[in-house]
Structure 1
């Protein structure tokens, strides 16, 4: 499903709890680098967060918030925070993101390699969480500088855009899980645990998979792709995703299995993975456990994010 180019603009509302953010996540396992760049606006102020891991260890962290912005920013280029610059080169197709801090810099180009995976406003997970948005799998190329070290990046990732007004009196925790398999397959999952609930089984979840289009799904009677053409990717929802997670003594996720069923009859996409980099951040009344996972799915090896945002205290 094609997205309206207007969705590439920051979205605002009169509700003081409303927020909008773009997250660019990326990984180059060969270079040993994983990272996230997030920029957003809420309550008339911009905030940004940069997390970069090298060799599995935190290598660069930049965080800034409370930077005043105009009432209706036209683009993310109008937001200036945490040394981040983000530009839409071609809506829903190509973007650039850079960040600069005292310890290093990031300069990347992202290109969509699959269809958007969209969480619509009327989905139960969006209604409970108060947020809607979309994720797009990407090819990510560029350079990173850490001190005197320069690292060339040629990897995978995902660009996500979310907006809404979450009510944390109704939510115990929120999970975001993604997996990228070099443009062949990708998935995104969002799961929210209602306040007072105790386990995975009580969570309200949404998931979608971008996978190769099957011959019966081709439109307008088009013939099969040429031998040198990659098959088109189709976004399909997985109505009842299943998650199994192993945590350490501090409650941080270390191992996980995700089952994504297209229907009761299948097919099922089963990804198993383990954390290869991560950290914990205290965000006032919330705690963020963020990790990058190495995933295995249907004979493929990939990488992705697994974030858990939960109430504390």
Structure 2
């Protein structure tokens, strides 16, 4: 795990090759079909024959929750273990990974369909930002971790408070933090200046290989800003350009800024919420040398667990 553009994909392939593993995507947006460039989705060639799971499993007009992710990944872990192989979760969506590994009980909070419908009606009438402001007053910690345009998560946080009298933050703190698997958490980090440069280079590469065209195609198929998939970084900014809200230059600058901010939030989440073994990818050593160090570290830990 680690921030965007830090080098997770390349390392994950080497881990899978060394330890006979299969990879489960821990990214909340790579689940969508037809959203390849903006999510930096791994290509078939880059997979090098390693089985990958939870990529391209739903259409962009479908919604998807962390609870659904939890159920699917736990089933995949079981399948992979039954084949005698090592499950490797790779990604940067902290809550999704945490929900799989720890005893998160999403079903404990029952929904209130009537309340949710009222909130959705308010969003449709243009009150989306007002709802976000209400959440900020009730639960500033949750609000900080939710993008204002992610109305689905904003409404869910308000619904939890409405239903239980507890904020989402309080509810999550009350849940047991029991690790359900003998998991080893590997985190990649990097000097912020270097990381931001890599992020900007990645954005430029995405544009070169057709990000604008990819978003245009989705928009032509009726996937607009109201869909969960289009709230992903890389898609919402380019969509604003396509529908004339801003120039392409403005959209690109906004995309780079949002990507940098997201990387910062990712690092904060992993450092504060999970017991991660960190490896700094900043220094000038060759990438193969850093990879070898991490592989040796994992080998040692797996040997201890085997004994």
Higher helix proportion: 2
TM-score past 0.5 threshold: no
TM-score (norm 1): 0.23
Larger strand proportion of the pair: 1
